[in-house]
A and B are shown apart, each in its own frame.
Chain A
C-alpha cells in the first residue's frame, strides 16, 4: 500500500502567474487593511488622508497588475476562467463533504472525496469570487476615486455599495485562503517559490488534472543536470 513518494516535479504555477500572485498579495493586504479603516474612519484627518493615499497607491498597483497580466497572459486568464466556471456533479459531491477537510480536522478521519481537476470545488468558488470581485473592485474603485462628482449619482452610490460588498467578501476569504494555503504546503511552495508540485501531491489532490492535462516535458541533458 505504501508507495515511495513520487517526487518528479510538475509545473503547476508558471513564473508569470507567480509574479502576478506576488504583486496581488502585496497590494491586496494593504488594500484590505486601509479599506476597513476607510469604512470605519477611526483615525484623525491626517491619518485618514494617509490611509486614503495608501489605498489609492495600492489600488493602482493592483489594477496595473491585473491589466498587465490580462494582456501579457491572456491565454492563462481564459484558461483560468474556463476552469473556475466549469461545473459538474463532482462539485456537488465535493461541497456535500466540504472536500473532507472538516472531517479531517475535527474528527481525524478520512472520507472519500470525488476526484478533482487542477482546482478543487472550493478553490473554483474562491477563484470565481476573486475574478468577479476583483474586477468589480478595480472598476468601481476607479470611478469612486476619479469621477465620484461626474458620474451619475445613483451609479456612484451603487458602485460604492458594490465596492464595499466585494471588498468585505474578498477580505473574509483571506484568512481561509491563508490557512488552507499553508496546509497544502507543497502547493504553497509551488506558488511562493519554484512553481512545481511533486507528482504524488498532484496525483493525490488533483487526479483528473494529472490524468487529463499533464504531459511530459521534452527533456535534455541541460535540464536534467541543473539543480
Chain B
C-alpha cells in the first residue's frame, strides 16, 4: 500500500513533459502552484503527479511547447456525435466564448457566443450553457453563504465555518485537499458549475430532452485541463445515483462523460470542417442556454464574487444593487478585497461583509490561508481561482503566443 493523492478511477498524470522537447529553461517552474515540477536547470524536467493539480499553467506557458496532455476525449466525442441513438450535450464554460475565436483568426477576447452555439449545433451538440449552471451555483453557494453568515452572527453551531471559500475551481479544491485538509469545512459544498450542469442535464435535462439518461452523453467544453480530473472523480455520478433511487437499473455513468478543452473544441470543429468565424449565430435549443450576466463573469477573476454579491444583496436587503458593476473585485491584482455594508432584513441589523478574491493562486494564496488557519482572517467570503486572471487564462485555453501568464514583476 502506497500513499497517493488520487481516488480510484481519477485521471492521473494528465500533464506530462515531453523529454525530447524540454530545454530545461525552468519557465514552467515559475507557474507551478505546488512546486510539482522537478529537474535541474538545463536538464529535462518532470512532474510529480501526486503534487500536480492538472491546472495546465505550465503547459500554456512553456515557450517550447514541451508540455502535453495525456488524455483527450476528442475521438470518443466524434464517435458519439455520429451515433444517432445518443444525445450529445455540449456544456459551454463562460471563458470559452471569449477565447475560441482566436483559433479561427478572430481578435483576442472577441465574444463569439452565438457563433460558438451555431458551430456546435452544426456539429450535432445540444447547447447547454454552463453559465446557466453558474447561475445555479450562485443560488446554491450564495444561499449557503447567507446561511453560514446568519448562523455565525446568531452564534449557532454546525452551519459551517467562515470564511467560506468558493469551490468552482478544481485546481484550488485539489490544492486544499492535498495540502490543507483542515480547511475543507470552509469550502462551499456547492459543486462546480461543470458538475452541476452534468447532474442537471442527466436528470431534469432527461425530461427536457425526453431522453433516457443513459443515452445522454455530456461533453463539457472547458478553458481548463483540471476539469478533466474533476469530471473523473468517482463521487460525481449523482445523476446515476438519483436514477438508481428512482427505479433505474443501469451500470454507473459519470455526470460528465467527456471534457474537451477550448483548444480541443477548436480542433474538433476544424476536423468537422466547421469554420466558427463564418458560422451563423444560433440562440440555443432549450432553457439551458438562458443565462445571466452574473453567470458569464464566472470566467474571470472576481466574477464569482461579483455575481454572488449581486444575489446576496437582493436576498439580504430585498433590493437590487444600485450599481451592478463591483469594481473592487475586478482587475489583475493578486489579492483583491472589499467590504460591503448592508442592512440585513432577516437579522434586522446592519452587517458588513468582507470579501477577498485570490487568483494566480500559487503566488498569492499562502498568506491568506495562514490567516484563516490562525483565525485572524478578516474575510467572510473568499473566491479563489488557480490561474492568473481566472478561467479566461486557464490551462485549456488557446495559447496566445504574444503573451505570458506572468503577472509579477520582472
Direct contact of A and B (CB under 8 A): yes
Pick the contact of B406 from A38, A149, A160 — CB < 8 Å?
A149
6 new A-B pairs (CB below 8 Å) besides A48-B40, A52-B42, A153-B402? A38-B23, A45-B39, A45-B43, A49-B41, A152-B402, A153-B403
Residue B26 is within 8 A (CB to CB) of chain A in the complex? yes
Cβ-defined contact, B402 with A154, below 8 A: yes
Using Cβ atoms and an 8 Å threshold, which residues of chain A touch B400? Answer: 153
Cβ-defined contact, B404 with A151, below 8 A: yes
The total of interchain contacts (Cβ-Cβ below 8 angstroms) comes to 78
Q: Which residues of B contact A (CB under 8 A)?
A: 23-28, 30-31, 39-44, 61-65, 399-404, 406, 408, 410
Residue A51 is within 8 A (CB to CB) of chain B in the complex? yes
Determine the main DSSP class of B at the interface with A: loop
Cβ-defined contact, B402 with A149, below 8 A: no
Using Cβ atoms and an 8 Å threshold, which residues of chain B touch A48? Answer: 24, 40-43
Q: Which residues of A contact B (CB under 8 A)?
A: 38, 41, 43-46, 48-49, 51-53, 55, 144, 147-154, 156-157, 160
Question: How far, in angstroms, from A52 to B40 measured CA to CA in the complex?
Answer: 9
Question: How far, in angstroms, from A151 to B63 measured CA to CA in the complex?
Answer: 9
Using Cβ atoms and an 8 Å threshold, which residues of chain A touch B61? Answer: 149, 153
Contacts A41-B24, A153-B403, A153-B404; is A148 near B43 (CB within 8 Å)? no
Question: How far, in angstroms, from A53 to B42 measured CA to CA in the complex?
Answer: 9
Using Cβ atoms and an 8 Å threshold, which residues of chain B touch A52? Answer: 24, 40-43
Contacts A45-B43, A52-B40; is A160 near B23 (CB within 8 Å)? yes
Using Cβ atoms and an 8 Å threshold, which residues of chain A touch B399? Answer: 153
Cβ-defined contact, B42 with A149, below 8 A: no
Chosen A-B contacts, 10 in total, with CB atoms closer than 8 Å, are: A41-B44, A44-B43, A49-B41, A148-B27, A150-B30, A150-B404, A150-B410, A152-B401, A154-B401, A154-B402
Question: How far, in angstroms, from A126 to B293 measured CA to CA in the complex?
Answer: 63
Question: How far, in angstroms, from A153 to B59 measured CA to CA in the complex?
Answer: 11
Cβ-defined contact, A160 with B40, below 8 A: no
Pick the contact of B40 from A49, A149, A151, A153 — CB < 8 Å?
A49
Contacts A156-B63, A160-B64; is A149 near B41 (CB within 8 Å)? no
Using Cβ atoms and an 8 Å threshold, which residues of chain A touch B31? Answer: 149
Cβ-defined contact, B40 with A38, below 8 A: no
